[in-house]
Structure 1
Amino acid sequence: MPLLMLCGISGGIFLVVTGIIHRKFLAILMGIICCSFVIMPFIFLNKGINGEDILHIPAVLYWVLFSLAGLLAGINGARSKIKSIRNTGFIIFSVGLFAAICYQLMSMPDSYFIR
């Protein structure tokens, strides 16, 4: 979880700054989305709001959407031939996908796999 938060916040800020430098609106937008996906649960927790009641999506889908935002930024960087946006996007994608898979595996009951 700390790696996911670090990757989401620092990667999102990096995408915003690099998108501003290279004038890539999609990279700026994906950076804002990545930051907000990581920060939003803490804002909800601070306000005493259950995020799943408002968003109506499961946690795994939430982190997969975070991961897809990174993939879209990586594809945008690859098409524009900007290595920093491409690498950051693909790192966010891989870390987000790994976190979603691990979260799904941890949330399954043990008796389902062990017989």
Structure 2
Amino acid sequence: MKQNREFSKVFELCLFVMKQSKSNDLLLETFKTLAQFLRLKWIPTNVIFESSMIEGLALQFYDLKPLRINVLEILVEIGGIKLPPNSQSYQDKLAHMFLRVLKSTIGKYGVSEKTNFDELLASSEANR
């Protein structure tokens, strides 16, 4: 029980940083922490899907180039969570997250059925 309270405080701090911080360095460390918590399965499924974390990541931070890789890492971890039966709202949230990221990626990079991904990757790496 004490561990739950302590984790809850750390998670609340992470959400606070996501909402308030303008520092990419602080956000980056927060995202690394969240990714590790997800890998270790320390964040209960209901906390992930009932907090504002997914929306913040997909809507606010995915489009920020310095943070994109870390945000995507978290979103991939969330996408890999085995959802409990009868969790339609969680499934809907996952679908919305996926579509938001996909729409952003298509819009930014002009991805279509004719896109040459090798060239796209090469130009992306050249611009780093």
Using the size of structure 1 for normalisation, the TM-score is: 0.36
Report the structure, 1 or 2, having the larger helix content: 1
Higher relative contact order (CA 8 A, sep 6+): 1
